[in-house]
Structure 1
Amino acid sequence: MNILYLHGLQSKLSSNKRKILEDYGSVFAPDIQYENKHIQAAEILKDFTDTEFNVVIGSSMGALNAYIISENIGRPALLFNPPLQKYEAVKCESFYTKGLASKNIFIGGRDEVVDPSETLKFLADHIQQSDLHIDIDSNCGHRIPVDIFSNQVSSFFSSICN
């Protein structure tokens, strides 16, 4: 299984979280500079024209791009605190046969960077319930602790592999 992981603004995939993901497949985690351009879904996919991804996972700004990529390539996505209110429709050139793509979204109820209510409003306006699983942790902020990351990843892969 090929996993595309997109980190957040001024962040990287930690070795602990990479190890968790590697239990499920090969991890592709490009280094992305979001400072001048938040949405880079098309550019990200252009760097992987010979790789077929089975799932897309992202955190914060990476989750926004993962959402857009998931919509374009029809692959399931696990999104941590995505700033979906910044969403812009982007058409990505790809070789994928687009299909129904489920979304698992984790929202930290105490997120001080991405307003949880704005994310929920976007989801209410744009996503069909049947394609969506939302998990809100009222005690979690913007940064995702390793134990929560591990539990969310496990739950995500259990839901798509059964």
Structure 2
Amino acid sequence: MNILYLHGLNGSLKPEKRNILEAYGTVIAPSIDYQNNSNAISWLYDSYANKSIDVVIGSSMGGFAGFHLSKLMQIPALLFNPALAARSVEQQTPITPSNNGNNISIVLGAKDNVVDPKGTLHYIGEHLNAEQPIAIKILPLLEHRIPFDVFKEAVGGFF
């Protein structure tokens, strides 16, 4: 299985989280310069559409990119605090199919003060498609950063 991991703004995949993901497959974790590439989603699609990617996992800006990339690539997604409603850097959103033919799982932190969880829920409600299965888990004490144990549990449940 090939897992495409998309980090957040100015982030990277930490070794502890990579180890969790590697239990499920080969991890591909590109470095993404969201600030200087306003077409990051299209760039990711062009780079990985023919690489037999099975799932996309993303956090924050990577969750935003992963949401749309999962629809373009028709693969399942696991997204942590995805920046769906608003972002601090400009990103072009390509036209995508209404659903990805698979499940999109979203983990939201109720105490996230970087990506507003209410804005994310509103965005999902505004763009809800009956054909797109979306599972949302809201963690009341979770902030923006995803602790190791939360990541491990969510990834285990996803796979």
Q: Which residue of 2 aligns with 1:135?
A: 137
Distance 2:156 2:38 in 1: 28
By how many angstroms is 1:35 displaced?
Answer: 1.6
* Unaligned segments of structure 2, at least 5 residues: none
TM-score relative to the length of structure 1: 0.87
What residue number does 1:52 align with?
Answer: 52
Partner of 1:121: 122
Q: Check conservation: 1:42, 1:91, Cα contact below 8 A.
A: no
TM-score (norm 2): 0.88
Other structure's SS at 1:84 match: coil
Work out whether residues 39 and 64 of structure 1, in 8 Å CA contact, stay in contact via their aligned partners in 2.
no
Report the RMSD for the aligned CA atoms in angstroms.
Answer: 1.9
**Higher helix proportion, which one?**
1
CA contact (8 A) 1:57 1:78 kept: yes
Distance 1:39 1:78, change over 3 A: farther
Percent identical pairs in the alignment equals 40
- How many residue pairs match? The answer is 152
* Cα distance change of structure 1 residues 54 and 41 upon mapping to structure 2, 3 Å threshold: same
2:94 is the counterpart of 1:90: yes
Residues 127-151 of structure 1: per-residue CA shift (max 9 Å, x gap)? 2366010000110100000000000
CA distance in 1, matches of 2:37, 2:116: 20
Structure 1 gaps of 5+ residues are: 93-97, 158-162
Does the CA contact (< 8 Å) of 1:38 and 1:61 recur in 2? no
Q: Secondary structure at the match of 1:118?
A: helix
Secondary structure class of the residue paired with 2:118: helix
Which AA in structure 1 matches 2:129?
Answer: Q
The separation in 1 between residues aligned to 2:53 and 2:20, in whole angstroms, is 17
Does the 8 A contact of 2:76 with 2:100 survive in 1? no
One-letter amino acid of the counterpart of residue 65, structure 1: A
